Amino acid sequence: MDFKFEYFLNAIHYNIYLEEVWTNKKVNKLVNGLFAVIFRIPFIRKYRKKYDGQKAKELDDFYYGNKAGLSISVAHYCFGYFYSGYSILFSFLLGGFALRELGNLSNVTKLAILAIPIGLCYIPAYRAVFAKDRYQKYFRQFKKEDEHWHRKWKRITFAFCIGSIVTTILGICAAFAIAIV
């Protein structure tokens, strides 16, 4: 596996994870503020003790843990979605050519034309990031980096995600253009 490719994908994954943690903290602040108002109602006060009794460490691990938790699960999903946005261009181009040359296709064939290139292109990303939990090693390394590094990779991650969305839209437009012409 190419080290630069692996480093790039893990840095993207790490920054998606950091943004997910930031988002979860903001949402939790809002939700906890609403619960604080609800728990002031007299007949709910007995539940307040139960709510306050939850262990902060367990909640932090659930929301923000990088081994198993809400933020890392959503980061895995978002990373896969944004990475697949680039390979879906090939899927849509292939689908457009198939529709133009073969006419009406069954739904199973259309799904196979879309899914196979995405699946094949996702294999190197899976091996670079998720195989043997490589992202854990990179997360420990990236936490030690300075602020300049974090700002740089935050911008690169933003460009990567926007590029994925644009590529997906271009793929859809290209598929329709190829199928119609």
Domain ranges of the chain: 3-180
**What is the pTM assigned to this prediction?**
0.81
pLDDT digits (tens, 9 = 90+) for 22-52: 988 888 888 777 766 665 666 555 655 655 5
Look at residue 11 in the predicted model and tell me its pLDDT: 95
What is d(CA 177, CA 58) in angstroms, rounded to the nearest whole number? 52
Q: Which of 156, 167, 174 is nearest to 86 (CA)?
A: 167
pLDDT digits (tens, 9 = 90+) for 118-167: 999 999 999 988 888 888 899 999 999 999 999 999 999 999 999 999 99
